[in-house]
Amino acid sequence: MEKKPLLLYLDIPFCPGRCAYCAKPALEPRADWREGYIEALGRELRAQKDSLPDYEVKAVWVGGGIPGHMADPQLGELLRELPRLLPWPLTPRSP
């Protein structure tokens, strides 16, 4: 049986300020908030692991805030852990 596609968007909502064109909710990029948010995101992904047997990851997007505020070592660790957390037939590649 063919698996259903899972398209994953990881929202990292930290920005130092609001751009005039942006209506997206944003949080101040405090290190303690980022760490707590990324830890919670990892816990949520781990909790969903066994509920996705009919799916496989087809794409992963990371977005939300200003990219410079997403260069967090914990986020990198979480992204490297994704193949163990989710049904993962993809071969990792850099942009």
Residue 10 has pLDDT above 80, yes or no: yes
Query: Between 95 and 35, where is the model more confident?
Result: 35
Q: Does the residue 74 lie in any domain?
A: yes
Q: Does the residue 90 lie in any domain?
A: no
Phi-psi region of 64 (alpha: psi -120 to 50; beta: other; left: phi over 0): left
pTM greater than the 0.75 cutoff: no
Q: Which domain holds residue 66?
A: 4-85
Q: Does the residue 92 lie in any domain?
A: no
Number of domains in the chain: 1
- What is the Cβ-side half-sphere exposure of residue 94, based on CA atoms within 13 angstroms? 1
34-50 pLDDT, tens per residue? 888 888 988 998 898 88
What is the pLDDT confidence band of residue 82, given thresholds at 50, 70 and 90?
Answer: confident
12-69 pLDDT, tens per residue? 888 877 778 888 777 777 778 888 888 898 899 889 888 888 888 888 888 877 656 6
Interatomic CA distance for residues 63 and 21, integer angstroms: 16
